[in-house]
């Protein structure tokens, strides 16, 4: 591999990294929301997994065990939603890498 090809390869990799970093920053600033139990629990978080809001319907308060299960379910759904978005972005860059 000659010097020019290597320089181009490195430049392309740097451009790809900058674009990936930009997309990841966009995800970090995106709000993701989930609702479980027929809107009994609503959670919102950003792409940094920081919870932004949590709404619990008074109807969910009568059964503590169910409430706990719903909160866990909502949180897990929210984490999965963010992870799926991150995977989509990462996957979109893999085929574009020249190596």
Per-residue model confidence as pLDDT tens digits over 7-64: 888 888 888 889 989 999 999 999 999 999 999 999 999 999 999 999 999 999 999 9
At residue 65 the predicted structure's pLDDT band, cuts being 50, 70 and 90, is very high
pLDDT at 98: 58
CA 42 to chain centroid: 17
CA distance linking residue 1 with residue 30, whole number of Å: 41
Nearest CA-CA partner of 27 in 93, 87, 91, 85? 85
Ordered by where they begin, the domains of the chain are: 30-99 (3.30.1310.10)
């Amino acid at each position: 591999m000659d010097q020019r090809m290597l320089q181009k390869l490195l430049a392309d990799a740097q451009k790809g990294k900058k674009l990936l970093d930009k997309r990841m920053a966009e995800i970090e600033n995106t709000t993701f929301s989930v609702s479980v139990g027929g809107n009994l629990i609503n959670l919102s978080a950003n792409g940094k997994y920081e919870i932004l809001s949590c709404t619990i319907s008074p109807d969910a308060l009568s059964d503590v065990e169910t409430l706990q299960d719903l909160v866990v379910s909502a949180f897990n759904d929210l984490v999965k939603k963010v992870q799926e978005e991150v995977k989509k972005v990462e996957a979109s860059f893999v085929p574009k890498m020249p190596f």
